[in-house]
Structure 1
Amino acid sequence: MNVCFLMYPWDSIKQPENDTSLTLIHECVKRGHGVAICSPSNLTIRNSITNVFCTIINRMEKVPSNIKSFYKKASTREEMLPLAGFDVVFMRAEPPLDPLMLNFLDSVKDDVFIINSVRGMREANNKLYTAVFEDPNNEIIPVTHVSKNKDYLVQMIEESPSDKMILKPLNGFGGSGVILIEKSAMGNINSLLDFYINKGEGGSDYVILQEYIEGAEKGDVRILLLNGIPIGAMRRIPSEKDHRSNVSAGGSVAKHKLTTQEKTLCKKIGPKLVKDGLYFVGIDVIGGKLVEVNVMSPGGITYMNKVYKTRVQEKVIDFIESKHLERNAAFIRKSDLKRLVNKA
């Protein structure tokens, strides 16, 4: 099996031991699969065929078991290859999503298994995706408002039964721009809304206001779902100096056993995720409620492995291998049928 990881450049990996993409690559190489790495900016068209300028990991006689050692010892070469020649394209590019990248992937989506699917990424690449899960009573999704209209947003803050709300940009990621606001500081809120709305292209951007969930100050839960089923979870705890629990913002991690409410949440959203081709997803949960769905480059595998002494990446690569076998079996069936029909 040959896998193309569509991600950030190989040379840009700063902390190999904490990098989920590298952990997945390492597992593929260990199993003898061919691996290439391509950044979205290196997609190209040659003679009307989508190609990639990619970094190919050379075969290794002995693959180091330690990921940091693997990254240090792996040798690579550069080549331009047709994207449709790969068996799997694994999306690991950092958000925000580049719509043009999806246009390139459209040309090969019928020939290659893409995780996550092009359609799914188009629909779920921002924080509006949670609205697709019908939840009129806000049982699994916190009360959420999205708008560019400052007067409306101010009104929603004033009408909120809580003194606190979460404010964040629609296109943020990694916890960037997420702040806690309080009604007692309305003067600051007005200026914050001006800043968030007016910093977008053309001077107008969408802002998200979300219900503050009690207990949020203690952190959130990151759950990884594979084919709609949870395969790992961890609690992310904010530092003393930051309310955000993202590890990239200084948070720490701890073991977490899924609650009954979290299991119910996963059962409710899992089928929809699979239907949309969103096979490998990270969700952020607070108090049993879905806060975000991460579909482009969900992380957390390395931290889950450390706190649980497990190997979550094995389940992920098992899954893409099974999908590859399914596609091969379907191709053989069609070829056999075509040969029998033509023979008749």
Structure 2
Amino acid sequence: MTLRIAFIVDPLDKLKPAKDSSIAMMREAARRGHDIWAVQREALSLHGDEVMAEAVRIVPQRTDAPWYLAQESATRALREFDAVLMRQDPPFDFEYITATWMLERAAAAGVRVFNHPRAIRDHSEKVSICEFPDLIAPTLVSRDTVAINAFIDRHGDCILKPLDGMGGSRIFRVRADDANRNVIIETLTEDGARTLMAQRYIPEITEGDKRVLLIAGEPVPYCLARIPKAGETRGNLAAGGRGVAQPLSESDLAIARKLGPVLAARGLLLVGLDVIGDRLTEINVTSPTCFVEITEQTGFDVAAMFVDALERAAHR
């Protein structure tokens, strides 16, 4: 059965076909004969109880320039699609939240939206790890300067990061004797106006910040270890990290097996867990990536596993 699938993504011409996971999904779905439509988040509108969108039907290409051909543009109700995938990158700002409200109305009317908009909205990619305290390093979420300083003094070597960052932006390693720690705290909290996350530094970051993918609750058998460049504490690819695909370790599998069923039951079809050593550091639910790198390095077709799961979910 041919599916009509809408992808809510960033502007098509800004996507990078050599590494973009959304494009990998589109190419695999199109290869199976499904119709692919692209939607910009700002094109969503709510008319009473009907969610509408300006959509463009595209044909993904196997070449990178151009990577797609636009076929037609139309205003469509989301109920006309068999599946809607929310794949736009953060920032997770008020406009993003508004989109989840509209998509939630569509879901309530029977539209199959992945990930479920309420689950996206309810899962802070940083704070949600605190639901699983036995899997994480010592962690503090606060904007209180006294509490943050006491946490750094207690653990000696810490990572501080904002709750709305992505790609390694504004992440700082702060030691107890760091002469700049007060200004770093002041900057990240905007003098106490914004909340940050502090975590004890995990030395195994030198072996990589591992992205473990969960699809319909099941782990992809390989992760992508994002290894920091020399002199850097961030493994993010956007911060210059080097991605090395590798089989999941026993501790990776243990984390994935514990979280997989829980998160899938909440409507999270695709999740990207971040793991350093044997500690969970983030639960990414907005637009998890690393499909292309894992597939190219291991031969395991992550996009095929995802579209298999999407087809099953859309036919329920």
The DSSP-based 3-state class of the residue aligned with 2:146 is: helix
Deviation at 1:250, TM superposition (A): 1.1
- Structure 1 segment 1-344 matched on structure 2, within 5 A: 1-13=3-15, 15-46=16-47, 48-58=49-59, 64=61, 66-68=62-64, 71=67, 74-97=69-92, 98-110=96-108, 111-133=110-132, 135=133, 138=134, 140-160=135-155, 163-185=156-178, 187-198=179-190, 204-231=193-220, 232-326=222-316
CA distance in 1, matches of 2:111, 2:48: 19
Question: Secondary structure at 1:131's aligned position in 2?
Answer: helix
Give unmatched runs, 5+ long, in structure 2.
none
- What secondary structure sits across from 2:226 in the alignment? strand
- Displacement, 1:45? 2.9
Go from structure 1 to structure 2 and tell me whether the alpha carbon gap of 1:7 and 1:311 turns closer, same or farther (over 3 Å shift): same
For 1:31, give the aligned amino acid: R
Contiguous gaps of at least 5 residues in structure 1 = 327-344
Count how many residue pairs are aligned between Structure 1 and Structure 2: 309
CA RMSD in angstroms, aligned pairs only:
1.7
Asked which structure has the greater CA Rg, the reply is 1
How far apart, in 1, do the equivalents of 2:293 and 2:193 lie? Answer: 37
Partners of 1:151 and 1:316 in 2: how far apart? 45
Identity of aligned residues (%): 27
- When normalised by structure 1's length, the TM-score is 0.85
Assess if the C-alpha contact under 8 Å between 1:26 and 1:67 holds in 2: no
Query: When you count helix as a share of all residues, which structure comes out higher?
Result: 1
**Distance 1:174-1:3 versus aligned 2 partners, 3 A rule:** same
Decide whether the 8 Å contact of 1:2 with 1:88 is kept in 2. yes
Per the alignment, residue 340 of structure 1 pairs with none
2:243 maps to a residue whose letter is: V
Q: CA deviation at 1:122?
A: 1.5
TM-score (norm 2): 0.93
Summarize deviations over 1:210-240 as a string: whole Å, max 9, x none: 0111221332111111111111312111112
SS for the counterpart of 2:160 is strand
Give, as a single letter, the amino acid of the residue that structure 2 aligns with 1:302.
V
Q: How far did residue 69 of structure 1 move?
A: 5.3
The separation in 2 between residues aligned to 1:233 and 1:142, in whole angstroms, is 20
Answer yes or no: is the 8 Å Cα contact 2:4–2:35 preserved in 1. Answer: yes
Contact 1:35 1:57 in 2 (8 A): yes
Contact 1:26 1:70 in 2 (8 A): no
